Structure 1
Amino acid sequence: MSGNTFGTLFAVTNFGESHGPAIGCVIDGCPPGMALSESDIQPDLDRRRPGTSRHVTQRQEEDKVEILSGVYEGRTTGTPIALLIRNTDQRSKDYSEIAQTFRPGHADYTYLQKYGRRDPRGGGRASARLTAPMVAAGAVAKKWLFEKYGTTFRGCMQQIGDIAIPFESWDHVPHNPFFAPVADVSALEAYMDTLRKAGDSCGARIRAVASQVPVGLGEPLFDRLDADIAYAMMGINAVKGVEIGAGFASVTQRGTTHGDSPTPQGFRTNNAGGVLGGISTGQDLEVSIAIKPTSSIISPRETINLKGESTEVVTKGRHDPCVGIRATPIAEAMLALVVIEHALRQRAQNGDVAPPMDPIPSSFL
């Protein structure tokens, strides 16, 4: 119960530190017989990796994944799949001055109190770099779900700092460093340039969507699909809030409009985010997450040292002024890990259930 494994039937054990020799994960429970190679995993890691634009950390990591086990003659064997990502551009000296102090908003204090020691280099296990193995595992889950059900995953940025981003088209998302669904990101670039020059950081709101999700995934009462989605998203570094479907907007909606009316042609709306009673409806799974401002910034801040004395801390090194910029593929991956876990549960418990009616189409009127 050390908190390093996510899932049960599709269990992903995450290992490594930000400035150690490597990071990675072991996937236990991947069904056998699926064609799998590094080329199936690498594209999602490339989307998440650092150094891809001036708006993110300039740490240069290729994040090349290596499959060490669980694949024979190009197909999964059903045994544990070990994925390794080597760290090649660490600058541990950047953290020597903060080893005796606590960065506000970071896990320095809590890790020291819990374990009696901490790795200050890049935050150690608390670093967002440890999301890379989860993205790799999520790519494996995505491939199996697409081949089995046609399920697809996509995401985008909805807001960065003070700037709300309108949705124009999914087609724009791959063509800018923000994963923004708009054609013109010049305002976002100017905002980030100003923020970086000020030595400050900001938060972001990210949307993740799963389409072609089978009906019936999820279990009442405490293994609800939406509850597990929220649990997974809160496991991502810096996430402080999760909304499923309409989320907090449900507070101001009326019962006459919030309920998603089914019709022979499909559901009229998707305020429930694709989940009713903790079980998938077959509609898109819709989740949004709120990400806090980066804690490691160069502006001086009040803190204490290991002796409890008042002091100031300045975090040197290479950091994202907004960790939310690279969070979209991470949110997609965690959503995929939840869906495959519940798909495997459904197959195990209810694989021989014959539904009394055809699924309602997922399209909106």
Structure 2
Amino acid sequence: MLTLGNFLTLSTFGESHGIAYGGIITNFPAGLKVGLDKIQNELDRRKPGQSAIVTQRKESDTVRFLSGIFEGKTTGTPIGYIIENENQKSKDYDHIAKAYRPSHADFTYDQKFGIRDYRGGGKSSARETVNWVVAGALAKQLLPEIEINAYVSSVGDIFCEKPYQELDFSKTESNEVRCPDQHTAEKMISKIKEIKKEGNTIGGTVTCVIKNVPAGIGEPVFGKLQAELAKAMMNINAAKGFEYGSGFCGARMTGKEHNDLFNEDFSTKTNLSGGIQGGISNGMDIYFRVAFKPVATVLRPQESIDSEGNPVTVEGKGRHDPCVVPRAVPIVENLVAFVLADLYLINKIRKI
């Protein structure tokens, strides 16, 4: 299960401390002029070492395309690419070669495969998401009219209280935590720095708002738009929850309160549906929120067991994110772009 998408697909390879990551994208339409600088910009937003509140692993994350693009345009054939790893420190993981770290994939990978790459978690590493950003950055160029804006909406118990309609998304990149409300961002940054000094980690949420999605995108049964978005989001490392529209708050409402009444132009007076009805976009803003747990690697001793069941003490070493949500923002945006492009192409084929 290393493939994302239904018609437009992405298959990936690579490990955190291997030679390179890479992917193959199939069924991407021919003739699109590719902005390579735009793809690299998205990778730069995701890469490590960009601020004091993220992992200090130094990677340029430079993408190199191997096929599917000729003279700056897509050819319609599979698009292959690689991103070489440049700054691995595998010795940082020698101490857990046989030990299982709490809340990591160490134990489950051993049970599934009978072998695991303990260097940075191997395939379970969040560095895998570099592949997804490349694919999503290409997909963004396929649907330029659609606006996708994600931002950090909470860190621990610090929340951005303003509704998204009152936020200026152009300010999201103005601070290192990627919250467009500067006052809240400052409190979030202070909290993350405080947690980092303790050798600990903290969780948070990312909210995403999608504008200008035409009505009719999404499939009626097993390809519902919200289900495809949820599936993509819940594949992100550390993701623990997904809600769209009114989400869990809607469960406290009555139908009369919750129903989105129509205007004469087919827009709705409210948008508690989150831009999706019956699994299909209705032309209103689509908005959702993803919850991320605290990063499991903490730089303090923890009791655990080894592969033989013997008690051991493990302590995180090396370079790790004290909070994953700032770097999750571009991952969320680009996965959304890939999901929308996939469903858009399916819808286009259906109408032929």
**Normalized against structure 2, the TM-score is what?**
0.96
Structure 1 residue aligned with 2:193: 193
Give the TM-score taking structure 1 as reference length: 0.92
The residue number in structure 2 matching 1:279 is 280
Match for 1:66 among 64, 67, 85? Answer: 64
2:312 match: secondary structure: strand
Q: Is 1:161 matched with 2:156?
A: yes
Residue 115 of structure 1 aligns with which residue? 113
Aligned-partner Cα distance in 1 for 2:273–2:216: 15
Q: In the alignment, which residue of structure 2 is the partner of 1:357?
A: none
1:267 shift after superposition:
1.5
Separation (CA, whole Å) in 1 of partners of 2:35 and 2:180? 30
Deviations 1:234-290 (A, max 9, x none): 111110100011111111222122111110253112111111001110112211100
**Distance in 1 (alpha carbons) for counterparts of 2:319 and 2:210:** 33
Q: Which residue among 132, 146, 151 is the counterpart of 2:146?
A: 151
**Preserved CA contact (<8 Å) 1:160 1:204:** yes
Task: Give the aligned partner of residue 318 of structure 1.
Answer: 319
CA distance in 1, matches of 2:269, 2:302: 50
Give, in angstroms, the shift of residue 169 of structure 1: 2.4
Show the 5 A alignment for 1:294-305: 294-305=295-306
Contact 2:176 2:326 in 1 (8 A): yes
Q: Which runs of 5+ in 2 are unaligned?
A: none
Which residue of 2 is the match for residue 262 of structure 1?
Answer: 262
Which residue of structure 2 lines up, in the alignment, with residue 174 of structure 1?
Answer: 173
User: How many angstroms apart in 1 are the aligned matches of 2:205 and 2:62?
Assistant: 28
Cα RMSD, aligned residues only: 1.1
> 2:174 and 2:17 mapped to 1: Cα distance?
30
Shift of 1:37: 4.2
Q: Is the 8 A contact 1:273 1:284 kept in 2?
A: yes
Quote the residue 1:4 is aligned against: 2
- Determine the C-alpha separation between the residues in 2 that align with 1:251 and 1:98: 44
Are the aligned partners of 2:151 and 2:207 in contact in 1 as well (CA < 8 Å)? yes
Amino acid at match of 1:218: G
Aligned to 1:250: 250
CA distance in 1, matches of 2:339, 2:170: 25
Partner of residue 93, structure 2: 95
Question: Any idea what SS the aligned residue of 2:100 has?
Answer: coil
Other-structure match for 1:332: 333
Is the contact between residue 26 and residue 77 of structure 2 (CA under 8 Å) also seen in structure 1? yes
Which of residues 113, 120, 127 is equivalent to 1:129? 127
Residue 186 of structure 1 deviates from its aligned partner by 2.4
Partner deviation per Cα, 1:168-199 (whole Å, 9 max, x = no partner)? 42122011111101123322222112101111
Could you tell which deviates more after superposition, 86-95 or 29-38? 29-38
Distance in 1, matches of 2:38 and 2:177, equals: 23
Partner of 1:16 in structure 2?
14
User: 1:222-233 maps to which residues of 2 (within 5 A)?
Assistant: 222-233=222-233
Please state whether the residue corresponding to 1:68 is helix, strand or coil. Answer: strand
Write the letter of the residue equivalent to 1:188: M
Q: Distance in 2 between matches of 1:39 and 1:111?
A: 37
Q: Calculate percent identity across the aligned residue pairs.
A: 42
The superposition leaves residues 49-86 of structure 1 with CA deviations (integer Å, 9 ceiling, x where unpaired) of 11011100000111111111101111000001112111
Cα drift, residue 108 of structure 1: 0.5
**Cα shift readout 1:273-324 (whole Å, capped 9, x = no counterpart):** 1110011101122111000110111111121011101121101010000111
Counterpart Cα distance in 2 of 1:63 and 1:233: 22
How far apart, in 1, do the equivalents of 2:37 and 2:193 lie? 34
Number of aligned positions between the proteins: 346
Provide structure 1 residue ranges, at least 5 long, that are not aligned to the other structure: 352-365
> C-alpha offsets along residues 133-179 of structure 1, whole Å, 9 cap, x if unaligned?
10110000010011xxx112111011011211233421220111111
Aligned to 1:362: none
Asked whether the equivalents of residues 209 and 332 of structure 1 are also in contact (C-alpha less than 8 Å), the reply is no
Kept in 2, the 8 Å contact 1:61–1:87? The answer is yes
